[in-house]
Chains A and B, each alone.
Chain A
């Protein structure tokens, strides 16, 4: 079965520290992978996506993610956290074989300590 797992429902880091949010997927076919960010009482917006080509993907606000097929992972990182990064982050996956089916992870709430 196809699925997405986000490890850690809540991650807290200090301002200026490395941000690492984990995402693993399960699939027998090549995936398309996405990270979305959600600020309180708002919809989701795209941070970055991997479809084909380069496995290191850069997104908005200084975030990046690396697709590692051997580890079935797509972890999100940012070298230096900013207070404005506090939000909920969702990993999502789609597949060519089921174009309209989006599978979301359960989300990770990122808190930033001053």
Chain B
């Protein structure tokens, strides 16, 4: 079955450490997205990529980095520069050039700083 896989589901990080969240899709979608979700704040866009080897900052990119070396993969690194990283992170994908097509989401990764 086609879909998006995020791993791990739960992640714990010590302050000052970088951590990388995995996102893999087998939907053959060109566009991929990372969102952060905090209680009562909806979804906030961190980064998005419309094509391999290209990505753009979203609304809250500071303290995060991404790469897009393969069409199927869009990993997100939460760096030590992110002051408040505890949140639920969602990865999504869509076909490029198809705004009438819904986004497909992974099951999310809950990151907690300990």
| Contact-size category for B | 20 to 34
CB-CB contacts of B29-45 with A at 8 A, as 1s and 0s? Answer: 00101000000111100
Q: Is A51 an interface residue (CB 8 A)?
A: yes
Within the complex, the shortest CB–CB distance from A51 to chain B, in Å, comes to 4
Q: Are A105 and B42 in contact (CB under 8 A)?
A: yes
Contacts A100-B48, A104-B42; A34 near B102 (Cβ below 8 A): yes
Q: Measured between alpha carbons, how far is A18 from B92 in the docked complex, in Å?
A: 31
Q: Measured between alpha carbons, how far is A52 from B99 in the docked complex, in Å?
A: 12
Contacts A32-B99, A95-B99, A99-B96; A44 near B50 (Cβ below 8 A): no
Q: Measured between alpha carbons, how far is A36 from B90 in the docked complex, in Å?
A: 14
Contacts A100-B48, A100-B96, A102-B94; A46 near B102 (Cβ below 8 A): yes
Size of the A side of the interface (Cβ < 8 Å), in residues, is: 26
The list of the 6 closest CB pairs from A to B, nearest first, reads: A43-B105, A106-B42, A51-B100, A94-B99, A99-B99, A46-B102
Chain B contact residues, CB within 8 Å of chain A: 4, 6, 31, 33, 40-43, 48, 50, 88, 90, 92, 94, 96-100, 102-103, 105-108, 110
Further 11 A-B residue pairs, CB within 8 A, beyond A90-B42, A100-B50, A104-B42: A32-B99, A34-B102, A42-B108, A43-B6, A44-B103, A44-B105, A90-B43, A94-B99, A96-B99, A102-B103, A107-B43
Chain A contact residues, CB within 8 Å of chain B: 9, 32, 34, 36, 41-46, 49, 51-52, 90, 92, 94-96, 98-100, 102, 104-107
